[in-house]
Amino acid sequence: MQRSTDLRQMRIVFRPRLKLGMHEILTSTVFGVIAGVLASILERADSMITGGNATPLGYSNTYAWVLLSAYLYGPIGALITTEVQALIGLLTIANPLSWLWPAVNAVFALVAGCTALSIQKVRPRSSIKTRLVIMSLALAILDVPAVYLVVVVVLGLPFIVYQLALPMYIGLQLVPATLIAWLLLRALERTGLKF
* SS3 category, 60: helix
Instruction: Tell me the pLDDT of the chain averaged across its residues.
Output: 89
Cα angle 61-178-115, degrees, rounded to a multiple of 5 = 105
pLDDT per residue as tens digits for the range 56-93: 999 999 999 999 999 999 999 999 999 999 999 999 98
Checking if the pLDDT of 10 tops 50, the result is no
Q: Select from 10, 22, 126, 108 the least CA-distant residue to 67.
A: 108
Architecture of domain 2-190: Orthogonal Bundle (1.10)
Measured CA to CA, the distance from residue 174 to residue 33 in angstroms comes to: 23
Max intra-chain CA distance, the chain: 60
Sign of CA dihedral 135, 112, 177, 149: positive
What is the average pLDDT across 100-128?
Answer: 93
Checking if the pLDDT of 21 tops 50, the result is yes
Residue 14 pLDDT level (bands cut at 50, 70, 90): low
Measured CA to CA, the distance from residue 175 to residue 58 in angstroms comes to: 14
| pTM for this entry | 0.88
Asked if 3 contacts 185 with a C-beta cutoff of 8 angstroms, the reply is no
193's torsion region: left (phi>0), alpha (psi -120 to 50) or beta?
Answer: beta
Measured CA to CA, the distance from residue 170 to residue 66 in angstroms comes to: 15
Better-scored residue on pLDDT, 8 or 125: 125
